[in-house]
Chain A
Amino acid sequence: MNVTLYFTPTCPYCRMAKEYLAKKNIKYEGMNVAESRDNAQEMIKKSGQMGVPVIDIDGKIIVGFDEKELNKVFGK
């Protein structure tokens, strides 16, 4: 499974998303959108919006830290 997390360092929900992925032992690629305009553009293109976090799981896009949606994919 390919998981990418788009985040900004200061966003509390991004942190909750990181903690969630760590708790479930899920490997992911972290993309800091505050640091890189390219990362930000990629995230906006994928999700059609500019709120963080965005999680891309094999092309399935989850906007925000939505634990219920994440549990559907990764199991509770």
Chain B
Amino acid sequence: MIYDFAIIGGGPAGLSAAIYAARFRLKAVVLAKEPGGTLTKIHLMENWPGEQGISGAALADRLVNHAKDLGVDIMQTEVQSVSRKGKNFLIRADEGNFEAISILFATGTKHRHLGVPGEKEFYGRGVSYCAVCDATFFKGKTVAVIGGSDSAANEALLLSEHAKKVYIIYRKEKIRAEPINCEKIANNKKIEVIANTNVKEIEGDKFVKSVVLDKPYKGSAKLPLDGIFVEVGYHPHSELAKSLGVKIDENGEIRIGCESETNMPGVFAAGDVTSGSFKQAITAAAQGVTASNSAYKYVTER
């Protein structure tokens, strides 16, 4: 079978694209390593219009069910390669091969490592990249979030529901979370921001015991901690697109235009893997549905 539109990635960009593709009566398939994508790691979303507070996992479920009810095939599988097959595209995945007339890269990102001694050794033993997964292990403990993004702020707020003390350690002066989240942090008695400071090393025995800071905090460069949540940004998952010949910018992100088009006809991109500076679920969704409209035009006019 030849699909009209193959969507690689199952986050808000890919799933929103799938919903519109189905409404356009495109024969669409979603190939997702992790259905729901980054959404599933968000504890509480308060900025999806119309939802004043919903867990990322619940929103992801709704998007998945919406697409499925409209008849989209959603496969949990990892894509290994994308190549040309005549005018079409051939996608090789763990679950088999898929041929499509047009494709969408909604492949998202992978988290960045801090790159300090101890990070690898203590992964799973105090070092975590997923507060939603592991926060409950730190009931009554002292933890730190490394990073100053809005995601870091959200993780700190979630952790404050479990831990007795939460530090945010950030290399710059002022965290760059949504101002509403900055206010929540400022008003949260458990959370303390250590600004203009880097973590140099993570230390412990069986589990994490402390970190070494690059400048003393309250007179000591050693900060005792039970848990460290690394939230220092993301690398785009653009290798598949790059190997197909899609134009990638200096940050490794896919350049798209207003119609979510790439430099290659029939190839579209949306969401966190693209070069927009404002990476939100809602902007990803908007780029995804725009891509579906463009794919519809491409498939029908070809």
A interface residues with partner B (beta carbon < 8 Å)? 8, 10-16, 19, 33-34, 40, 48-52, 63
The answer to whether A48 touches B125, judged by C-beta atoms less than 8 angstroms apart, is yes
In the assembled complex, the CB of B232 is this many whole angstroms from the nearest CB of chain A, namely 18
Complex Cα–Cα for A26 and B76 (A):
19
Selected contact of A10 from candidates B34, B76, B133, CB within 8 Å: B133
Which of A14, A16, A40, A49 has the most chain B CB atoms closer than 10 A to its own CB?
Answer: A49
Does B130 have its Cβ within 8 Å of any Cβ on chain A? yes
Once the chains bind, are A13 and B133 in contact (CB under 8 Å)? yes
| B55 close to chain A: CB less than 8 A | yes
Q: Contact: A16 with B34, CB < 8 Å?
A: yes
Give the distance in Å from the alpha carbon of A16 to the alpha carbon of B34 in the complex: 8
A25–B124 CA distance with the chains assembled, in angstroms: 29
Q: Which of B35-43, B99-107, B165-173, B242-250 contacts A (4 or more CB under 8 A)?
A: B35-43
Residue of A8, A10, A11 most packed against chain B (CB within 10 A): A10
Please give, as numbers and ranges, the residues of chain B lying within 8 Å of A19 by CB-CB distance: 76
- The answer for the CA separation of A13 and B126 in the assembled complex, in Å, is 18
Q: Are A51 and B55 in contact (CB under 8 A)?
A: no
B47 adjacent to chain A (CB < 8 Å): no
Is residue B150 contacting chain A, with contact meaning CB distance below 8 A?
Answer: no
Chain B 39-56 interface 0/1 with A at a Cβ cutoff of 8 Å (1 = within): 011010000000000010
Assess whether A40 is in contact with B133, with CB atoms less than 8 Å apart.
Answer: no
Given contacts A40-B137, A50-B134, A52-B133, contact A10 B128 (CB under 8 A): no
Q: A12-B34, A13-B133, A34-B136 are in contact. Are A51 and B43 (CB under 8 A)?
A: no
Which of A10, A12, A33 makes the CB contact (< 8 A) with B36? A12
Chain A, Cβ-Cβ closest to B39: A12
- Contact with A33, one of B125, B128, B130, B137 (Cβ below 8 angstroms): B137
Q: Is the interface of A mostly helix, strand, loop or mixed?
A: loop
Q: A49-B125, A63-B124 are in contact. Are A12 and B40 (CB under 8 A)?
A: yes
With A10-B55, A12-B36, A40-B137: A50-B124 Cβ-Cβ less than 8 Å: yes
Question: B132 near A11 (CB under 8 angstroms)?
Answer: yes
- Asked if B136 and A33 sit within 8 Å, CB to CB, the answer is yes
Interface of chain B residues 218 through 260 with chain A (CB within 8 A): none
The distance from the CB of A53 to the nearest CB of chain B, in whole angstroms, is 9
CA distance A39 to B207 in the complex (A): 18
Tell me if B284 is interfacial: C-beta within 8 Å of chain A: no
Q: List B contacts of A49 (CB < 8 A).
A: 124-125
**Residues A10 and B125 in contact, CB atoms below 8 Å apart:** no
Q: How far is the CB of A4 from chain B (nearest CB, A)?
A: 18
Contact of A51 among B40, B57, B132, B134 (CB under 8 A): B134
